[in-house]
A and B are shown apart, each in its own frame.
Chain A
Amino acid sequence: MTYSQRLVNLLLGLAPIALALIFSTLVLVAAGAPPLEAYKHLLQGASESPAKIADVLVVWVPLVLCSAGLLFTFTAGLWNIGVEGQIIFGVIFATWVARNIYLPAILLLPLMIVAGMIGGALWGLLAGTLKVYGGVHEIFAGLGLNFVAITTNIWLIAKPWRPELGATMQGTDPFQPAAWLPRLAGLRLSPVSLLLALMAVVVVFFILRGTLWGLQLKAIGKNVRSAYLLGIATNRHMLLSFALCGALAGLAGVVQVSGVWGRDIPQISGGIGYLALLVTMLSGFRALGVAPVALFFAAIGVGAARLHLRMQLDPSLAGVLEAGLVLSVLLVAGLRARLLMPREG
């Protein structure tokens, strides 16, 4: 590589960050906030105390789990938009276990985890089946199933799982103590969930990189017809990728109910399923990129809460900033392809 090419590469690597900063600064100015002060609050809000850092990690865990799962479906060339619904079905299955089965924590928690993963996997498999056998594009299948899942959860909370006393839409009664993941003293963060997220990243990394199944998935993603002719069972592999993604999303759901909230609430997934799509894209669809990118997103999300307190900016600004970053990265990647690659008709 020549010196000038290297320079172009370096500039293109920094360009998305610069572009995203310009974009967010414009957004902040438009919202009437002094940008520098806002950035300061954003950083401080995410890092000034152990409690804040723990809050960031609380968001990070489900985000990493879902993004790791998405690596399976993205590798197979599938746009699994249904992660949100898969989280919720993990929540529903785990909640059912927590409400109906009484065991010591050491048995109950693994049971909830397995149940949640099965719930997510089944919901993912449903989208996959619609895609593979029903000819329904996975984007529409996922989107439709998300609405069904959200509504199902709200119905469960409002009707069969309604607390004996009090309002109906707040959520279920708190779970029995055995159904709570152990937490660090005084924080909402569970070390178990942290461990699960790290394991998920490592396992997904090795599956995609070092196994035949991972390579076959990659082949399907790049050219499904050639993959089929080479003798790869494309339908089965696609279904399995949906199921595995769903299982990890379901696990994220278990962490949400059992580690963070201790009960089922209507907004239990909180848009993490959609955010995970952005994380995975920004990581360049690489397992090792998912962890840091998710951390960055979680920090912006938590820091934005402080923007709300101090500068009266709506916390949804976090989403705008994250989306701006993803769009910048995709834009620069597109420009790089135009500038550096040979142009073909």
Chain B
Amino acid sequence: MTGCRLAPPLLLTREAMKVELREIRKYFGPVRANDGISLTVEPGTIHGLLGENGAGKTTLMKVLSGYLTPDGGRVLLDGKEGLFSSPAQAIGKGIGMLHQDPLDFPPLKVVDNFLFGRDSGFLQKREEARKELLELSGRFGFTLEPEAYVNTLTVGERQQLEIVRLLSLGVEVLIFDEPTTGISAPQKVTLFATLCRLAQEEGKSVIFVSHKLEEVLELCSEVTVLRRGKVAGQMAMPCTSEELVRLMFGQVITTRVAEEVSLGDPVLELRGLGVHTYRLDLSPVSLKVRSGEVIGLAGLEGSGQRLLLRACAGLIKPSRGSIFLRGEDMSGKSYQKFLDAGVAYLPAGRLEEGLIPGLNLAEHFVLARRGKASFFINWALARRDAGRKIEEFNIIGNPSTRVEGLSGGNQQRALLALLPDSLRLLLLEHPTRGLDVESALWVWDRLLERREEGTVILFTSTDLDEILERSDRILVFSGGKMLEILDAKRTNVEQLGYLIGGKRG
């Protein structure tokens, strides 16, 4: 892949918009998410916004796009005041944002989603919309089928839909919040090409929010680095990744190499395990895993990895085949029985299926002590225990902090802290999704400790490097089939990428 920052600027039909943020402040209680941030996005460029989790990137962009009202500061668009009280208003003035998780309506059709946000009177002009959708997506080389249902699309396709929707609404500035999480390698290539096109040919100003250095280096012409709610520095490209790392963390960090672990007795055995759902069938999978082994599940999102994990967790009943845990047939047993057998499942949606918004950390730790907790809660003791766990897992918060007030990285730490002490089988969905380098390393250190204790780890990830680096064996999924079992040491990114994308081009 090549970047676009060296390509010559083309003649623009229209002057692009210049965005200036001046001394933006936004506090959430005691947390200073944005503490006087100023930055300028030059018209027709891709401006990178880099920073670790909780640095304040998303908050700043939500202020710009009208989702959040700042506590102080100004927004200037081409020198004119531009502080909005709603996203609709912001879009009207030409600012559109693609959120980290697509904010579309999955049970509806593509063309219906395309129509949202449009002020075209009471009656929908579907036919017109359909034409415009096809025209716009054709211009960018997208293949969006107007009558397809959104819940059949991949995350990457949903992004494409959102891009053409915002363009059709006439936005001049597009904000992309961590757009490469959850999309495949080929989709990433398309996305980057689109971003370049938007900036250079369509004359849009693009703000690219990421915590991934290499993406920013490749794509942006200028980058602003945030650290703890403040601007840590601004760099014009080209610059080195070391310089950016120093700005992000204030230090240079190095990757620790995983130690060799000798594998023990068989723990998990799948015999022709198949799952049937109304959306996707998982074809029979047979697999034997020994204690201490780490298995990476690779594939485009929605290719069956999640079904396999959930079946192994006892959350969905297999339609055929069986699951053995240390020789015991677990097929048809309840989720509770799986938990009792030492199985744990960490889903990707941390606040949807893991933590309980509204409850604090101490309450979570009490709840997680399945069976071992007494009927009457000793709150003083519970808070002390929680305090210890918080320290041990390096969570920024205290026992009475509600989980929804934690940053993504700290939520992941909390989830790991909630796991029981001894586990046989740990199933993880995207264990480091949305985490910065430092937090991701920390998470894997914890997981590798588990593995040294003999826990079997199965995880999914869209980051092929992560899969290659962390797994012993790799299962490749495509369209509900497990295509192949690979030895991680004898595989490289190109091979893996080819296998994953192979079926879908």
Residues of A that sit less than 8 Å from B by CB: 210-213, 215-216, 218-219, 222-223, 225-233, 342-345
Contacts and interface: CB of A to CB of B under 8 A. Distances in A.
Interface string B261-296: 000000000000000000000000000000000000
B336 A345 contact: no
Contacts of A227: 356, 367
A344 B59 CA distance: 10
B352 A230 contact: no
Contacts of B69: 343
A310 B261 CA distance: 88
Given A212-B366, A212-B373, A212-B375, A219 B359 contact: yes
Size category, B interface: 35 or more
A136 to B, nearest CB: 22
Contacts of A215: 363, 366-367, 377
Contacts of B421: none
Given A230-B368, A343-B67, A223 B357 contact: yes
Contact of B347 (A229, A232, A344): A229
Given A222-B358, A231-B339, A344 B367 contact: no
Given A225-B353, A229-B354, 5 more contacts: A210-B379, A211-B377, A215-B363, A216-B367, A223-B357
A46 B147 CA distance: 65
A195 B94 CA distance: 66
The 8 residue pairs across chains A and B that have the minimum distance between CB atoms: A222-B358, A223-B356, A231-B370, A345-B67, A226-B356, A225-B353, A222-B356, A231-B339
Contacts of A344: 62, 67-68
Given A345-B62, A345-B103, A219 B354 contact: no
A342 B29 CA distance: 9
B68 A222 contact: no
Contacts of A216: 367
A219 B362 CA distance: 13
Contacts of A211: 375-377
A213 B375 contact: yes
A224 to B, nearest CB: 9
Nearest to B379: A210
B376 A226 contact: no
B28 interface: yes
Contacts of A213: 375
Contacts of B347: 229
B495 interface: no
A230 B68 contact: no
A342 B404 CA distance: 12
Contacts of A343: 67-69
A343 B374 CA distance: 39
Contacts of A231: 335-336, 339, 368, 370
Among B67, B103, B345: residue with most chain A CB under 10 A: B67
A211 B363 CA distance: 11
24 contacts: A210-B377, A210-B379, A211-B375, A212-B373, A212-B375, A215-B366, A215-B367, A216-B367, A218-B363, A219-B356, A219-B367, A222-B358, A223-B358, A225-B353, A226-B353, A226-B355, A230-B367, A231-B335, A231-B336, A231-B368, A231-B370, A342-B26, A344-B62, A345-B62
A226 B28 contact: no
A226 B368 CA distance: 11
Among B345, B373, B418: residue with most chain A CB under 10 A: B373
A230 B403 CA distance: 15
Contacts of B358: 218, 222-223
B109 interface: no
Contacts of A226: 351-356
B409 interface: no
B374 A212 contact: yes
Contacts of A345: 62, 67, 87, 99, 103
A342 B336 contact: no
A222 B357 contact: yes
A300 B317 CA distance: 55
A342 B26 CA distance: 9
A223 B358 CA distance: 9
Contact of A210 (B68, B363, B376): B376
B347 to A, nearest CB: 7
Contacts of B363: 215, 218-219
Contacts of A210: 376-377, 379
A218 B359 contact: yes
A26 B298 CA distance: 66
A212 B369 CA distance: 10
B81 to A, nearest CB: 20
A251 to B, nearest CB: 23
Contacts of B366: 212, 215
A212 B357 contact: no
Interface in B393-450: 418
A232 B347 CA distance: 16
Among A211, A219, A226, A233: residue with most chain B CB under 10 A: A226
Interface in B312-364: 315, 335-336, 339, 345, 347, 351-359, 363
A343 B87 CA distance: 12
B414 to A, nearest CB: 12
B377 A212 contact: yes
A213 B368 CA distance: 13
B419 to A, nearest CB: 11
B180 to A, nearest CB: 21
A223 B367 CA distance: 13
Contacts of B351: 223, 226
Contacts of B62: 344-345
B87 A225 contact: no
A225 B356 CA distance: 9
Nearest to A229: B353
A296 to B, nearest CB: 28
Nearest to A222: B358
A201 B314 CA distance: 39
A326 to B, nearest CB: 22
Among B99, B347, B376: residue with most chain A CB under 10 A: B376
Among A215, A216, A229: residue with most chain B CB under 10 A: A229
Nearest to A218: B359
A225 B348 CA distance: 13
Contacts of A342: 26, 28, 68
B342 to A, nearest CB: 12
Interface in B95-109: 99, 103
Contacts of B418: 230
A216 B375 CA distance: 11
A165 B250 CA distance: 93
Interface in B51-65: 62
A123 to B, nearest CB: 27
Nearest to B373: A212
A211 B62 CA distance: 40
Nearest to A344: B67
Given A225-B353, A226-B356, A232 B367 contact: yes
Contacts of B370: 230-231
Contacts of A232: 367
Contacts of B336: 231, 233
Contacts of A229: 315, 345, 347, 353-354
Nearest to B103: A345
